[in-house]
Structure 1
């Protein structure tokens, strides 16, 4: 298999004059971008970055960030991106854990980098004249290419993402060139991308979805249009001006985009393919998107940083809630809760834990220096995802939530997802999250936190649930009306924060 550096060069040779990347007024062809990637790789080498070393970045999406990613693929270095909102403590931990050799940052992360003791001991590249660097990104561009342009093979490490660390310290997820290339090719195939596609680079490049958009566009000479930070108005303007052909976003970003007043005066006709991942999409949003875009393809993609593609549902509106069947590089099973083997299979329709085959071409091999995490999640050649789900009679997977999000009320296991999907269809509901709150009698009671877009009260929503097919034991016993729900940097609603009262009242 080709490594990613050679894959990029192949695209340059195939279509050198095709526009490859757009960032504001900057527009680079594949040939022009190749020159900059080669120079940056040479500059990083001159600073001491070598094959197998980790390059830590604390950057927003930009042409510089994308260029650094490809420069690492040329050098055989390991791209190790952090959230640009990372705290000094997070930078300290991740830089130490990865044994980073060099760090790149920008203005929005400059203060955190300056307050990180570990970062201050590293060579530091400042992007866009950010204060506190030992070298500027512009200086990297002045360097010549390395004597040997391509220094990696398919078995070398390409990337290490850090998990969000919601239940402890972040875990490094190292992935080889072959893992990443297989995932990008599968993404192309499963989303029916063609040569010359155009996508928004709005999902962060420290997140697996952002990386997949970057790689898949490069493999087929597509156009990657950078959006530094999600803003619905900027996203809509870019769709119109760049004639974007596909979108790959988390549900929350879709929700915010189609709720923006500029939607009505934006030409979105170029968008023919929609994809989503990162969280379940409720039925209400699914129907609204299908009616607005009328896409040729609308894909629900279920996966993770560890195993990029688990399952694909290519017709999300045709079977709401379905995550579909296993991807072309993967095998998926549902095992009994508490199972210690991938062979302890749940019955059809029975909720259990979703597991993925570690022999899949896209699957990682284990966490970075975390035998404790490996012991918890890897067993007998299977990755235990921590996600709940079940197979229906047609063999389609339904993901019902995280094991940690499960509500246990009166001895019944209740997943929030189907309750949220039902309430999302009420015409007055804009967003909803369901969590379990402590209850003296039931252990936990089902509570719905609702952001409204019309008039409704708790009695109206309770009546709506009673008149539906929702089992009575799943019906919310409490409704809390909020002005905003807490979300992660990539748009996931954070139930754990809601449960402790961290939401906009």
Structure 2
């Protein structure tokens, strides 16, 4: 697959879009809208502001901002200044932000004035920070905006100053230069920074425009937080082709439906949890006929929600599987609308996207130890948008990337038609009495119980068995572990896979992307689960 844009850097892509689509609306948020000409002008001015503040090529710039036009200007302005932006999740704890900052070592921070407390905490804890730039977005509280008027650097105020037009003379970036450091959503430690270049981001954008059906005159919508690769995946494809993009500063299913209705949105991606919220918000009250294709990613989709989306929202549904490390669109698998034939395929994550290679390799083995159809092993991917570096973590880089391949840590199989099915995580494996148990199959059985809303299964330490299979369950009506045990015992789940303990909980711990944090459960309950009685596996 080649980069369809004909541009080798984000800078060149923006300049071309401003020339080809000057008066077309580029971005919309709750505070207004801007054309491609206006967007490029503001981006260039932001790059000049960074230069005047002392930021130079290669310097990292941390951003604490919600999804908005101003955030987009800041990200793209950093790239055009040849600095390296890194958007941090605005709901991270102060401690985590400081730890990320000290690993990232940014020279500047750009922050929404409503997040000044968090920014001040980072300025106090991260010695490398020398420059702070306040920003006003649609999410900025009025009193915070007023209080920020005295800051030495404030946008958009300072972008209107005389002499700010045109990019500073810093030389042109190359396609292999770092364009952004994107934080992963891992739950095992402090989020790691994945380095993406202009080349990998453009490759992802080109494939994304293809799958999102983006083109001039069509509109998309980005609901994702700025701190994740999803923001890039749902922004750059539209800007590459001169389409219009709505940026949702805060997630609200009713406002989402209003945006789709009023702006005639043609394509969008949500996580399944968001889709369920949309379905509960009377979508029939809105005109959604503009939708040509919708998609989901980030977590498994249940059959009822999938069918409801097709019947009540849009018949054309797709699914993608990727990660921060893969840049997603040109380092992923795709399940396209036409792929959903047999009912069993709903469990598939699809086939490799355009220009992407996928292998199933022996767990713990080398990249070339490829398994055949139906054999279970680790999923590895290679494609034009796959990153090649974890920021300042060389050992982890060596573990995750090999000969251009990314090791997913996911276990899966490929069928005879090339469709991929995930079976679990290599690090989620439970070893009980010397027998390996993957939690997915156990969770699927428990989730069939009509009273169960959510379930996650983990292995907890046990002196007799090494690990116990323990189920944490969120229910819709009062039930006990005995009822769940009887239900699972009557299923076709093998005895050795059955949970030995059930814990009914009010909610499951989840990370910023909505994925269940299994490590948090292991850490919280690992020392208090009673030993299992000796019973045969």
| Common fold by TM > 0.5 | yes
Write the distance in 1 (CA, Å) between the matches of 2:475 and 2:287. Answer: 28
Q: SS at the partner of 2:440?
A: helix
Candidates 173, 183, 191, aligned match of 1:170: 191
2:512 matches 1:489: yes
Candidates 442, 445, 449, aligned match of 2:472: 449
Aligned to 2:334: 312
Offset, 1:307: 1.4
Aligned to 2:23: 17
The answer to whether the 8 Å contact 2:318/2:336 transfers is yes
Offset, 1:190: 3.2
Offset, 1:441: 4.5
**1:267-416 correspondence to structure 2 within 5 Å:** 267-296=287-316, 298-308=317-327, 309-315=331-337, 317-318=340-341, 319-339=345-365, 341-357=366-382, 360-416=383-439
Of 221-230 and 178-187, deviating more is: 221-230
- Distance change in 2, residues 1:88/1:480 (3 Å): closer
The answer to whether the 8 Å contact 1:313/1:323 transfers is yes
Of 264-273 and 219-228, deviating more is: 264-273
Write the distance in 1 (CA, Å) between the matches of 2:277 and 2:521. Answer: 20
Write the distance in 2 (CA, Å) between the matches of 1:440 and 1:244. Answer: 56
- Distance change in 2, residues 1:377/1:399 (3 Å): same
Offset, 1:81: 1.2
- Distance change in 2, residues 1:241/1:149 (3 Å): farther
**1:15-94 correspondence to structure 2 within 5 Å:** 15-94=21-100
Offset, 1:87: 3.4
Candidates 117, 121, 128, aligned match of 1:115: 121
Write the distance in 2 (CA, Å) between the matches of 1:138 and 1:178. Answer: 29
Candidates 96, 114, 118, aligned match of 2:102: 96
Candidates 215, 233, 239, aligned match of 2:236: 215
Q: SS at the partner of 1:236?
A: helix
Candidates 234, 237, 246, aligned match of 2:258: 237
Of 247-256 and 75-84, deviating more is: 247-256
Write the distance in 1 (CA, Å) between the matches of 2:436 and 2:256. Answer: 39
- Distance change in 2, residues 1:252/1:445 (3 Å): farther
- Distance change in 2, residues 1:56/1:7 (3 Å): same
Candidates 175, 179, 191, aligned match of 2:200: 179
- Distance change in 2, residues 1:122/1:28 (3 Å): same
Write the distance in 1 (CA, Å) between the matches of 2:468 and 2:179. Answer: 45
Candidates 258, 278, 283, aligned match of 1:257: 278
Write the distance in 2 (CA, Å) between the matches of 1:240 and 1:484. Answer: 33
Q: Deviations over 1:135-179 (max 9, x none)?
A: 111333223332459832322211111224533343321111011
Q: CA RMSD in A?
A: 2.8
Corresponding pairs, count: 497
Q: How does the TM-score come out when normalised to structure 1?
A: 0.89
Offset, 1:455: 7.4
Aligned to 2:533: none
